Structure 1
Amino acid sequence: VWESVRHYVYTKAIEEVHGVKCLILDEETSRTVALVCSHTQILNAQVYSVERLDSMSKKRMGRVRAVCIIRPTSINIRRLAQELSAPKYEEYNIFFTNTIAEHLLKDLAEADVSQVVCQVQEIFMDFYPLSPTLFTLNEPCCAELEAPSWNQALFTRLSEGLISVLLALRRSPLIVFQRSSPIAEKLAFDIEERIATGNRSSDLDLFQFSAGRQGTCMLLIMDRRDDAAVPLLMPWTYAAMVHELLGIRDNRVDMARVPPPGQDEAVLSVHDDELYRRCEHTLFGELGPAVTAAVNDLQKMTGAPGGGRLQSVKDIQRFMNSFPDVRRQQGTVAKHVAITCELGRQVESRQL
């Protein structure tokens, strides 16, 4: 799923719009984009600035093209329509992260009185890709789906998010659900209906992929309340302990209580962190030797010939060529040392 979202963001949206650009995001897509593209990568694609749809500047940028990646919600359409009524950019390239309702698209067209909208596309990334095999919708609690406190907006978000994942992967699934759970059953039938109706749009062929890619996955919907044992089976792996004891959201670990003071957060991503990629599912008892080995490797990288002295021009050149890698590795190792030490401290203090 990570590669699919990166393709949509970087290749299909940003790179296909030529010239100097401004990237316009909403509250949710700003976090999604941050998971798949670094700020440096965005700048290298001639992105002049990144703005939030809910707090855009008033300054006019006549030579800059806007690339809007937003969720197709009524509030986002209203904000974008307000922007189009007094446009600040030369043109607007709009990419919605899911299918958009026809009445919202009509509202947007009516607001484009200056005819500055260059294109409108649907790119399916209405979820948060944490790794190649893991995504989340960042809805931590589904208790509001219980009667009598039924939350239709939450249910719709879950259904639309799963539809977006299926479309991003280009899969038409076999849906299996837990029949003893009314919520799982309702969600399964809603997704089935959305697949049959093109996610309730005029495009009834939305899920008609090539014959070789149909029915190649299973969507299994289960109710966690009837499966309380699974979260207790593997609580001692690195990723699970970070999630449980420190807290992690969008691959960012809360480091506010981790010494030394002054750290706000640390990024744990399998795409940018080789040590985390190798140790993500490593048991905590085996994590110490892996971190120790990383520290030893770093010492070898920073060690210079001749007992730490640079004795020749070649030594200096070799050291300077490796310096960026050394600095990056230093930050990575220091991060994991701090996290593992804090995990060990909490295990001891809580007597886990």
Structure 2
Amino acid sequence: MNQNSSLSSSGMMGSGGFGFDQFSNNFSIKTKQIESINKMLSLKSESSSSNNNNNNNKAISGWQEVWKVLIFDTHCSNIIAPILTKGALRNQGVTLYLPLHSDRQPIQDVPAIYFVLPTSDNIKRIAEDCKNKLYDNIYLNFASKLSNQLMEELATLTIQSDSVSMISKVYDQFLNFISLENDLFVLNNPRDSYLSFNDTRIKDTQAQENIDMVVDSLFSVLVTLGVVPIIRAPKNSAAEMIALALEKRISTTLQSSGGSNVFSNMNEMGSQLSSFYRPVLILLDRNVDLSVCLHHPWTYQALVHDVLNMSLNQVRIDVTQNGQTSKKSYGLDSSSDSFWSSNTGAAFSSVAGEIKSQINEYYQQMEKLQQITDIKLDDSDDFDNNNKKSNENKTKGLGNLVQEMDEKKRLIDIHTNLATDLTKNIRDRQIDCFFAMEESIITRSLTDKKELHSLITSPIVGETGGRGTLEDKIRLLIIYFLSTKNVPQSEMDQYEDALTKMGADLSTLDFFKKTKAFNESLTAIANVNQSSTQSSNTASGKIGGFMQMMTSVTGYQGVESFTNFFQQGVRALLPKSKDLFVTRIVESIMDLKNTLDADYLYLDPKIQNKSNVPKRTTPFKEAIVFTVGGGNYVEYQNLQDFSKKHNKKIIYGSNELLTSKEFLNQIKNLNKN
């Protein structure tokens, strides 16, 4: 068996000169991962290769046109699902895809591509498949590096069954992460990441395993992008341990024979650029800002995630049609859904207006299409009886228009249904009021404590005068406690007594009370400029009437209320300028400000003399920001807003993207320990 280090796809650049913009176009984690997976599936590099150990050698060419079977484990299924559709797999010649650990029948004369995690269980099953000769030959692709121990295990098992010849090639693909957007990724590891990195009772072996999993995935991210970054991380934190381990792995790889090829994602010209425009990898501990994990969101993507529990770009909601309610699942892909791509970071109120605009545009286009169709059908002169080709083209053109309108209608239906479900949740829970109150607290513009008192102490949803769920109230109280200096104990007692009588579990609040260190970072968030405070005050006044306008949202007729709201200046709902704490750290590091130098490591994996690492003198244009212990869409969107404003490229990643409910549950479990 031959084991090759898989290279990410070439990412060729244009020959007519080069510059930062061209290099930045390659700084897309989703695009690069798709390219790497497509290369794996097409096996183009194997068209002229042969395996000396393969007794079933056949002249293979045009691999992308050959029927193939894709075998994957659950881990790698999660990697593929958000980025490749069934149609995309068919385009690569994959006609059948099956789970590794399932009962599978032999398929003769068909090659199989395995995409799995390197584990002992997977190795044993692969060896069993080889023994049973399920396929013509096998191409093994591991999501991360196959260890020598597992390689030896595979060799031993296949030698024992005399089936070594079944395996054509073995690749380390370095694809052990999940891309959700061009600038967003998560790790493909067990959940409860905040608990894993903050539980003081965890064993040393488990703690090291947690670090190793993050290092392995971040290494995959860097290999896929084809970059060797400068690494920054706060000292005395889990982020520091990950940074040091990652630097060591990169340095060791670069020093090994052929190691530099692992990161050669580009041609020669691209490599020159990557040396000059090296990104910075900023590793941050989740504890640097916890309030953002509790804040009620107001942007579209963040709401869909937090309220509708979107996972891996999939969301499942109740949809009512013709009086019948059923569950529907939607895949939300920015590359194929222009509405989603354009509105993920928009305030929900403006999204409502956009939906109305899309509906109006759809009906106008349908009217025009109907007119064209009527003319074509009525005007026989438009068709040439002697020119069959011309008539076919005209008919095909009409067919394409109809397909385009069907797709537009499908997307409108999706986002109307999502908006309807979100609107119901916002109305029932008064999420708009909680959002406005939290904004005023964080920006230190709180003037109406009566509203704060009402939101916390009023009955819960479902009861007379109910405002919010118990979780909504606890989130608000924690944000108030952490973001406000010297909250009177009598006031806290009043709120806690009210919540306890409602049946609330206040163990999460107890946790934050014990962890005073968080207050410093949260206080820093409150120091926004005056313009932010003013815009927040304006927003608070407008949010209050939100649900009074958003009534009876069913189908397209209900979207009329969206327009009314849109016309009343809803674009001011969010502060115009409010960089979150993580964004401020990123700005400081990318612009080479000296404020963090004493507290943050500066690591360069390319430099062997670690005692004398030269510092960069020009600001960074690209950054990979990774939060250890969980991330969220609010933080992600804030970074993207910053990057667009300052002409930078920022990729955001974390162990997982947490909803507020998931985060509070982890805090609750942590407090039990």
- After TM superposition, the score normalised by the length of structure 2 is 0.49
CA distance in 2, matches of 1:154, 1:264: 35
Pick the aligned partner of 1:292 from 356, 363, 388.
356
The equivalences for 1:133-152 within 5 A come to 133-138=183-188, 139-142=190-193, 143-145=195-197, 146-150=199-203, 151=206, 152=208
What's the secondary structure of 1:49's corresponding residue? Answer: strand
Q: After TM superposition, give the deviation of residue 219 of structure 1 in Å.
A: 1.4
Contact 2:31 2:182 in 1 (8 A): yes
Contact 1:137 1:158 in 2 (8 A): yes
CA distance in 2, matches of 1:173, 1:9: 23
Q: After TM superposition, give the deviation of residue 280 of structure 1 in Å.
A: 0.8
Tell me the equivalent position of 1:62. 108
Pick the aligned partner of 1:273 from 337, 350, 355.
337
CA distance in 2, matches of 1:13, 1:305: 40
Tell me the equivalent position of 1:224. 286
Tell me the equivalent position of 1:48. 95
Question: Aligned pair in 2 of structure 1 residues 273, 161: CA closer, same or farther (>3 Å)?
Answer: same
CA distance in 1, matches of 2:260, 2:254: 10
Contact 1:174 1:218 in 2 (8 A): yes
Contact 2:111 2:138 in 1 (8 A): yes
Q: After TM superposition, give the deviation of residue 272 of structure 1 in Å.
A: 0.9
- What is the one-letter code of the residue matched to 1:322? L
Tell me the equivalent position of 1:325. 404
Answer yes or no: is 1:337 the counterpart of 2:337: no
Tell me the equivalent position of 1:109. 155
What's the secondary structure of 2:108's corresponding residue? Answer: strand
What's the secondary structure of 2:110's corresponding residue? Answer: strand
CA distance in 2, matches of 1:180, 1:106: 38
- What is the one-letter code of the residue matched to 1:141? D
Pick the aligned partner of 2:214 from 148, 152, 158.
158
Q: Deviations over 1:123-146 (max 9, x none)?
A: 221111111111111554221233
- What is the one-letter code of the residue matched to 2:148? E
Answer yes or no: is 1:2 the counterpart of 2:54: no
After alignment, is 221-230 or 63-72 more displaced?
221-230
- What is the one-letter code of the residue matched to 2:405? V
After alignment, is 281-290 or 298-307 more displaced?
298-307
Contact 2:71 2:113 in 1 (8 A): yes
The equivalences for 1:242-281 within 5 A come to 242-255=304-317, 257-260=318-321, 261-281=325-345
- What is the one-letter code of the residue matched to 1:104? L
CA distance in 2, matches of 1:94, 1:144: 32
How many pairs align? Answer: 349
Contact 1:63 1:90 in 2 (8 A): yes
Answer yes or no: is 1:190 the counterpart of 2:235: no
Answer yes or no: is 1:100 the counterpart of 2:146: yes
Q: Pick the structure with more strand per residue.
A: 1
CA distance in 2, matches of 1:81, 1:199: 32
Q: After TM superposition, give the deviation of residue 247 of structure 1 in Å.
A: 0.9
CA distance in 2, matches of 1:340, 1:198: 48
Question: Aligned pair in 2 of structure 1 residues 35, 332: CA closer, same or farther (>3 Å)?
Answer: same
Question: Aligned pair in 2 of structure 1 residues 159, 104: CA closer, same or farther (>3 Å)?
Answer: same
- What is the one-letter code of the residue matched to 1:172? V
Pick the aligned partner of 1:35 from 82, 85, 94.
82
- What is the one-letter code of the residue matched to 2:282? L
Tell me the equivalent position of 1:171. 227
Question: Aligned pair in 2 of structure 1 residues 303, 85: CA closer, same or farther (>3 Å)?
Answer: same
- What is the one-letter code of the residue matched to 1:33? I
Question: Aligned pair in 2 of structure 1 residues 51, 207: CA closer, same or farther (>3 Å)?
Answer: closer
Q: Deviations over 1:38-65 (max 9, x none)?
A: 10121233223101111141x2212100
CA distance in 1, matches of 2:227, 2:177: 16
Tell me the equivalent position of 2:177. 127
Q: After TM superposition, give the deviation of residue 25 of structure 1 in Å.
A: 0.9
* Sequence identity percentage: 22
After alignment, is 147-156 or 265-274 more displaced?
147-156
CA distance in 2, matches of 1:15, 1:273: 29
What's the secondary structure of 1:28's corresponding residue? Answer: helix
After alignment, is 142-151 or 200-209 more displaced?
200-209
Tell me the equivalent position of 1:22. 69
What's the secondary structure of 2:232's corresponding residue? Answer: strand
Contact 1:252 1:266 in 2 (8 A): yes
CA distance in 2, matches of 1:205, 1:286: 48
Tell me the equivalent position of 1:350. 429
Q: Deviations over 1:198-240 (max 9, x none)?
A: 3999865466654642471111111112212444678211111
Contact 1:177 1:222 in 2 (8 A): yes
Tell me the equivalent position of 2:39. 11
Question: Aligned pair in 2 of structure 1 residues 48, 96: CA closer, same or farther (>3 Å)?
Answer: same
What's the secondary structure of 1:109's corresponding residue? Answer: helix
Larger radius of gyration: 2
- What is the one-letter code of the residue matched to 2:196? E
- After TM superposition, the score normalised by the length of structure 1 is 0.90
CA distance in 2, matches of 1:223, 1:282: 27
- What is the one-letter code of the residue matched to 1:222? L
- What is the one-letter code of the residue matched to 1:54? H
CA distance in 2, matches of 1:306, 1:118: 56
Answer yes or no: is 1:213 the counterpart of 2:263: no
CA distance in 1, matches of 2:406, 2:254: 48
Q: After TM superposition, give the deviation of residue 12 of structure 1 in Å.
A: 3.3
Answer yes or no: is 1:301 the counterpart of 2:365: yes
CA distance in 1, matches of 2:309, 2:274: 37
CA distance in 1, matches of 2:247, 2:370: 69
What's the secondary structure of 1:158's corresponding residue? Answer: helix
Contact 1:245 1:346 in 2 (8 A): yes
User: Which 5+ residue runs of structure 2 have no aligned equivalent?
Assistant: 1-28, 47-62, 265-270, 384-393, 432-673
Q: After TM superposition, give the deviation of residue 287 of structure 1 in Å.
A: 0.8
Q: Deviations over 1:296-326 (max 9, x none)?
A: 1221232256779724336994543312112
CA distance in 2, matches of 1:120, 1:132: 28
CA distance in 2, matches of 1:53, 1:268: 27
Contact 2:68 2:112 in 1 (8 A): yes
Q: Which protein has greater RCO, CA pairs closer than 8 Å, 6+ apart?
A: 2
Answer yes or no: is 1:89 the counterpart of 2:139: no
- What is the one-letter code of the residue matched to 1:7? E
What's the secondary structure of 1:330's corresponding residue? Answer: helix
Contact 1:23 1:50 in 2 (8 A): yes
Q: After TM superposition, give the deviation of residue 169 of structure 1 in Å.
A: 0.6
